[in-house]
A and B are shown apart, each in its own frame.
Chain A
Amino acid sequence: MKYLDEFRDSEKAQTLTKAIEQIAKKLEPKLTRPLQLMEFCGGHTHTIFRYGIEQMLPDNIEMVHGPGCPVCVLPRGRVDVGVNLAERPEVIFTTFGDAMRVPGSRKSLLQAKAEGADIRMIYSPIDALNLARQNPEREVIFFGLGFETTMPSTALTVLQAEREGITNFSLFCNHVTTAPTIKAVLDSPDMRLDGFLAPGHVAMVIGERPFDFIVKDYAKPLVITGFEPLDILHSLWMLLQQFESNRCEVENQYSRIVSPDGNTPGLEAMNKVFENRDFFELRGLGSIDHSGACIKESYAAYDVERKFAVPNMQIADPKSCQCGEVVTGVIKPWDCKIFGSKCNPENPVGALMVSSEGACAAYYNNGYREAKVA
């Protein structure tokens, strides 16, 4: 299968793992603890677990699984708003699949659906627009989720709705932005990260420059990474080479998809429709300044928060939740007091257990319940 199999070649994997071992050995005398490298993006977490990559790495390299899973960081309050909207009889509430499982303070969208709310799973915001066209007497709401990766398609859908004069379509915008989120991780106390694998599909949209602040202001090297297992090994090798030669740069491993300036038409659509919020809450990380996207005044007619009087509900996670510490590398999932017991995939308490790409869910679903694994 083109563009997949070449990047899953086991012989090349062996070459890369040997090269990684060699550099790791050279770095060993300089280290006081294992290197902690964060892959920010949930898609990368998924690849690492699916291919068993962490077990292929030497002991002095540890992966820390970051908060770049837009489902995981969706705050309970926003889910409650979504459920309230979905329960209105005139509304058809459309959402991506994974978001349906996120628990709010009363229920998840999946539970609301079981109780009769008209909630439909779609694969693309254009599906929501189609529903609006087919159901002119209903209000079709699209639950817009994702980092910058999915923002262009949402923006283009709003622009399409405007072109066609569709008025019964609106967007419940929960898009989040990558740079402020990484900054929040870097600013947290006890943060112990040494370098980053940066999200390749976010970079495909926004380009390389938005990551510069990480190397300039925080002196952490960064490699923009693709999603196949060889991409991950390749990026780790590039990152280690930076450590070895005392460089601190933004490098682009995913150059077959990512160009330095990003995707211009995508960015243009985004800039037309969206602007940064003053702040947005991310579950597990708290309120982050200038983060998250909201809809510009010129597109207010498509903004659910203006169309309906949407309250700003902030609902804190239980005190037992230690997601913030896991996400910044301070503790591992199994160190969390409620990991696997009160908090598990069937009954997720915190952000990182909710989606299959959250760190805790990834560990749990792949059988890593405690520190030592056979």
Chain B
Amino acid sequence: MSKRITLAHGSGGKAMRDLIEDIFVSIFNNDQLSLMEDQARFELADLVAKGDRLALTTDSYVIDPLFIPGGDIGKLAVSGTVNDLAVCGAKPLYLTCGMIIEEGLPIDDLRRIVASMQATAKASGVRIVTGDTKVVHRGAADKLFINTSGVGVIPQHINIAANRAQSGDKIIVNGYIGDHGAAVVDARGEFALENSIETDCQPLNDLIETMLAVCPDIHCMRDATRGGIATVLNEFAQESKVGIHMSESAIPMRDEVRGMCEILGLDPLYLANEGKLLAVVPAKYADLLLETMKTHSAGINSSIIGEVTTTPVARVILSTKFGGKRIVDMLFSEQLPRIC
């Protein structure tokens, strides 16, 4: 096989079939995919045995660069979609993998990324069962774009929704915020740092299963990706028509991330995460949930960061370490570093 992806690999002929078998089928390695049908098929009875609702989600991954400290586009593509399913309480089961590859991508990079997808899939207990491969001319895509859709089943009695936050509820985050956003800035090499910051990219479904075992009635839960924790909390406040009060001193953050934000003038509340969730839970379960999360590898630095109030409606307020209060609003556009 040639060292780089060419247009032939996307043309539907032998080159493409060889690529699919050599890389995707062999690495993803499951019965469904090995059949090489145009679709994956599932017994409905198997699904119904696991719950009473299907959860379906999709996400596309276009990160640049493809490889960042602590992860790559493949790990992201699987974790992100697994997490989108898991945060509604669903057990993630199957993923699709649609790839748009720019002509010229080194095949070794593709192999590495697909291996990373499989490792992440295995760790989260999901299977990648169907996919698609397209190759476009040089310049028509940025190296590699991946789309993953995911399907899961929601067990009975689980009801997690953004409009369920109630006054008195506590808000928990499962660890350090801003790692992913900071890692991407660092990886782009525009800003030479002494310590490399790693992405926090990880699947959260196992942590969430542990949480639900202790507190089946989690009210709201979302993973805090682009837009950071500030965006998710604003979404909860708006959908539930409640106020949210956060305490700055309770929000876990690494010193390196804090330092980068200070220098560039970025607000860590809006930085992307890829392995962080926010859960709004009844107050009486908060402490037990926190202790449980801290014993899980994906929740070691969990913290109760705030609570839900009746007013001000649809607003998120931060009590600063300094002693003042500020309103944390939705971001209007991309954060850009400040000049002076």
Contacts and interface: CB of A to CB of B under 8 A. Distances in A.
Given A8-B321, A10-B321, A366 B337 contact: no
B46 interface: no
Contact of B322 (A10, A96, A98, A150): A10
Contact of A368 (B327, B337, B340): B327
Interface in A16-38: 17
A44 to B, nearest CB: 12
Contacts of B323: 10, 13-14, 17, 56
B339 to A, nearest CB: 5
B129 to A, nearest CB: 37
A318 B79 CA distance: 49
17 contacts: A1-B255, A13-B323, A46-B338, A51-B320, A51-B322, A51-B326, A52-B320, A52-B324, A56-B323, A56-B324, A98-B336, A121-B337, A123-B337, A345-B333, A367-B328, A368-B327, A374-B312
A146 B321 contact: no
Contacts of B258: 1
Contact of A98 (B190, B262, B326, B338): B338
A123 B338 contact: no
Contacts of A98: 336-339
A163 B262 CA distance: 33
A149 interface: yes
Interface string B293-331: 000000000000000000110010000111111111100
B191 interface: yes
A246 interface: no
Given A1-B255, A374-B311, A121 B336 contact: yes
Interface string A80-100: 000000000000000011111
Nearest to A122: B190
Interface in A358-374: 365-368, 373-374
A198 interface: no
A346 B333 contact: yes
A123 B332 contact: no
B259 interface: yes
Contact of A229 (B315, B322, B329): B322
A366 B329 contact: yes
Contact size range, B: 20 to 34
A176 B264 CA distance: 22
Q: Interface majority SS on B: helix, strand, loop or mixed?
A: loop
B262 A4 contact: yes
B322 A13 contact: yes
Given A4-B262, A96-B339, A149-B340, 15 more contacts: A1-B259, A8-B322, A13-B323, A50-B267, A52-B320, A70-B340, A121-B337, A123-B264, A147-B340, A201-B340, A229-B322, A356-B338, A366-B329, A368-B327, A374-B315
A226 interface: no
Contact of B333 (A50, A101, A373): A101
Contacts of A101: 333, 336
Contacts of B264: 123
A8 B324 CA distance: 11
Contacts of A99: 339
A273 interface: no
A357 interface: yes
A17 B259 CA distance: 27
Nearest to A5: B321
A373 B311 CA distance: 11
A357 B338 contact: yes
B340 A43 contact: yes
Interface string B174-197: 000000000000000011000000
B339 A71 contact: yes
A49 interface: yes
Interface residues of A, number: 44
Interface of B: 190-191, 255, 258-259, 262, 264-265, 267, 311-312, 315, 320-329, 332-333, 336-340
Contacts of B191: 123
A55 B339 contact: no
A211 B266 CA distance: 31
Contacts of B328: 367
A98 B340 CA distance: 10
B340 A50 contact: no
A329 B162 CA distance: 41
A145 interface: yes
A240 B160 CA distance: 53
A53 interface: yes
Contacts of A368: 327
Contact of A70 (B311, B315, B324, B339): B339
Interface string A48-69: 0111110110000000000000
Contact of A146 (B267, B325, B339): B339
Contacts of A344: 332
B299 to A, nearest CB: 26
A97 B332 contact: no
Contact of B324 (A55, A71, A365, A367): A55
A1 B262 contact: yes
Nearest to B263: A123
A55 B325 contact: yes
B329 A97 contact: no
A346 B338 CA distance: 18
Interface centre among B258, B315, B326 (most CB of A within 10 A): B326
A150 B336 contact: no
A153 to B, nearest CB: 10
Contacts of A356: 338
Given A97-B336, A98-B339, A49 B262 contact: no
Interface in A303-347: 344-346
A100 B336 CA distance: 9
A206 to B, nearest CB: 14
B224 to A, nearest CB: 19
A260 B70 CA distance: 48
A365 B329 contact: yes
A83 to B, nearest CB: 17
A296 to B, nearest CB: 23
A218 to B, nearest CB: 25
A13 B320 CA distance: 12
A55 B259 CA distance: 27
B339 A150 contact: yes
